Amino acid sequence: MSEALAPLEKTDLTADTPLVSVVMGSQSDWETMRHGCVFLDEMEIPYERRIVSAHRTPDRLAEFARGAQSRGVKVVIAGAGGAAHLPGMVAAWTTLPVLGVPVQSKALQGMDSLLSIVQMPGGVPVGTLAIGAAGALNAGILATSILALSDRELSARLETWRAMRTAAVADHPEE
């Protein structure tokens, strides 16, 4: 578990330190995970992105996950493919909310990633999203929703984004 807790304060959207940490098991996951980062950029949320492999860099994983809360991180988004143990291992080290994104694998099209992430034993939760880009985007949106619980400004940004999406839906299909 974390060594020291950051004080429970209102989120500081102008902070230099990240509020969301986006981690992925490999460079090859970036093509998927960037969809969440684009959203965090749009919401102007300070975040960091890192490659942390559960099996190739286990020490980096432990250091990252144990220290995230004391660095002020509020939500972790973790994406991995195949035997996707990264999100679960992060959740084992921290009580921060962990959102898991199953990356689409070549062998099993991401079903392996999905089941690896979603089937956490009771007691160590990983909030699991859809396979691929949609899951990464939704992880970014959910992370924003979590932060918005204690931040009116962020809540307003989220509402504006939703309203724009609603306004963009036509009444009738075009030929």
Annotated binding-site members: 26, 29, 56
Nearer to ligand RP5, 58 or 156 (CB): 58
Q: Which residues bind ligand RP5 (CB under 6 A)?
A: 25-26, 28-29, 53, 80-82, 103
Query: Whole-number minimum distance, CB 85 to ligand RP5, in Å?
Result: 8
Nearer to ligand RP5, 53 or 155 (CB): 53
Query: Whole-number minimum distance, CB 34 to ligand RP5, in Å?
Result: 14
Query: Whole-number minimum distance, CB 52 to ligand RP5, in Å?
Result: 10
CA angle 21, 60, 38 (to 5 degrees): 25
- Please give the Cα distance from 123 to 143 (Å, whole number): 21
Nearer to ligand RP5, 132 or 140 (CB): 132
Nearest C-alpha neighbor of 60 from the set 19, 89, 30 = 89
> Which residues does the annotation place in the binding site for substrate?
26, 29, 56
- Please give the Cα distance from 136 to 78 (Å, whole number): 9
Longest dimension (CA), the chain: 60
Strand pairing category for 20-24 and 98-103: unpaired
